[in-house]
Amino acid sequence: MRRVCVIAGGMCKWGVRNASQRDMFQEAARACFLDNPRISNKDVDGLIVSSAYTERCSFQTHLAPLVAEHVGIKPRSVCMRVELLCASGSSGIITAYGLIKAGVADVVMVIGGEKLYMPQKWEVFYSEMASVDHDWDGAQGLGLPPAAFAMVAKQHMKQFGTTEEQMALVSVKNRRNGLNNPNGQFQEPIDLATAMNAKAIVRPMKLYDCCPITDGAAAVILACEEKAKELTDKPLVYIMGTGQASVHNMSANMPDWTTWVALRTAAQQAYKAAGIGPAQINVAQTHDCFTISEIIEYEDLGFCEKGEGGRFIQDGQSDFGGKVPVNTDGGLLSCGHPFGGTGIRQAIEITRQLRGDATRQVQGAQFGLTHNLSGFIAAHTVLIYGREA
C-alpha cells in the first residue's frame, strides 16, 4: 500500500461573507495553490468536494464538477462530493486518502465549505433541523445544537464536578489561539469575566461557549509519496491512521451522553492504524463546537482520565506548553464552523505544525490529531498525521 502525504493547504477568510458558495470555493483553491507554488491545477488528477448544506442553502447539487470547472481542475481519477455534516471535510480527506493508497488516484484536492448565511437568518436555523433525525428529533424542535450540549454539560457537571469556569477557560484559550489564524471568523480575545458574564443561550451554555454560524471554505491537496516528493520541497506530512465510528443517530439511542463511545472507538482505530497512542500526540485540533465538547474530547481521546477534562484545561495542559496543545488555531469557537470546511481547516493547521511553519509553533511536533463529531454526537471522525522523525 502506498503512503499518502498532505502537500498543500489554504483557506479563504471565514465569517459573515459577502460572497457565494462558489466564490469561496475559488478563493480557497487559490489559497491552497499559493501555499505550494510548485503545484498547479494541472497536476491535480482528482477532486473531492465536502459540503453539507449545498442543496439547502445554495440550491445546488452535483457540486464536484461545478467546483472543478471553477478552479480549473479537470479530474480524471475521481470527482465526487462527500457529506457527513460537521465532519464532511475530514470524511473527504479520508476518502481521498483511501483512494490514493489504493492506487485509484495520485494527486487529489479535497475542498470543502458552506455558504450558511441566507438573506434571512431564520432559514439556516430551520435547515439545521435536518441535521438530526428530521422525523423524530427535528420535529421536536431539536437540531439547533445548544439544547443538546447544555443537557450534556449539566450531566458532566453533576457526574464529575466540571464547572462553568472550566468551560469558559476553553473559550478564553481558543479565542486567544484564534489570533494565530488571521482567516478565522474572530480576531478578538476575551477574558474569563467576559465569558462568564455573557448572555445565556441555553444554560449553562452562554454566548462564548458556542461556536458561531460561518461562511467559508478550505482546501488541501493530498498526494502519493512518490508524487509528493516531486511536488513539494517542504517536509512531508503523512496521514498515518484514520477512524470513523457511529453507534446511534436519534437522541433516544445515545448509549451515554458524557462518555462518547463512538469517539473512543474511532480514536482507538486511528491510534492502532498509526501505531501510536495518545501519549505520543504533540498537537490536536478537536471539535470544540461547544466548550463542553472539548472537555469531553480530552477524556475520550485519552489525553486525560474520564472526568478529568475540566482539570486538564484548568491546569493549562491543553494550552501551548501543556501536555497536548489543543485547537492551536482557535478551533471552531474562534475560526467558526462552515461544516464542510472544518475538518480541512484542522488538517491545514496540523500540516503547518508538523512542517514547522505554523503561526505559533508547537516546538518539535511530530504527531498531530484531528477530531470531528457530527450530528447529535452521532458520529466521530479521527485522523492522525505524522512527519518523518
Partner 1 sequence: MQSMDLFQGKYIGTMDLYPQQAPEFNRVHPFYEHLRQGRFTTTRCKKCGSKAFPPRVVCPECLSDELEWVDLPTEGTVLVVTEEEVGVPLGFETPLIHALVDLDGQLKIFTRVVNARVGQLKEGDRVRLYVFPVPPVPMEKGRDLVQVERVYYAFEPVP
Residue whose cell numbers read 493549562: 316
Is residue 379 a contact residue for partner 1 (CB under 8 A)? no
Give the whole-angstrom CA distance, residue 77 versus residue 59: 27
Using left for φ > 0, alpha for ψ between -120 and 50, and beta otherwise, residue 360 falls in beta
* Among 86, 210, 211, 289, the one annotated catalytic: 86
70 annotated active-site? no
Is residue 203 a contact residue for partner 1 (CB under 8 A)? yes
Q: Nearest distance from residue 154's CB to partner 1, in Å?
A: 5
Quick one: which H or E segment has residue 112? strand 107-114
Quick one: which H or E segment has residue 247? none
Q: Nearest distance from residue 378's CB to partner 1, in Å?
A: 13
For 89-102, the three-class secondary structure string (H helix, E strand, C coil) is HHHHHHHHHHHHHC
| Residue among 221, 215, 196 at smallest CA distance from 36 | 221
Provide the grid cell at 210.
458556542
Is residue 250 a contact residue for partner 1 (CB under 8 A)? yes
79 annotated active-site? no
Q: Which is nearer to partner 1, 223 or 332 (CB)?
A: 332
Q: By the 8 A CB rule, do 342 and 89 touch?
A: yes
**Judged by CB under 8 A, which of 148, 237, 332, 344 binds partner 1?**
148
Q: By the 8 A CB rule, do 354 and 387 touch?
A: yes
Q: Nearest distance from residue 201's CB to partner 1, in Å?
A: 6
Is residue 256 a contact residue for partner 1 (CB under 8 A)? no
**Judged by CB under 8 A, which of 31, 32, 100, 150 binds partner 1?**
150
Is residue 212 a contact residue for partner 1 (CB under 8 A)? no
Site for partner 1 in 113-142 (CB under 8 A): 122, 125-126, 128-129, 133-142
Q: Which is nearer to partner 1, 240 or 254 (CB)?
A: 254
Q: Which is nearer to partner 1, 135 or 233 (CB)?
A: 135
Just list the catalytic residues.
86, 337
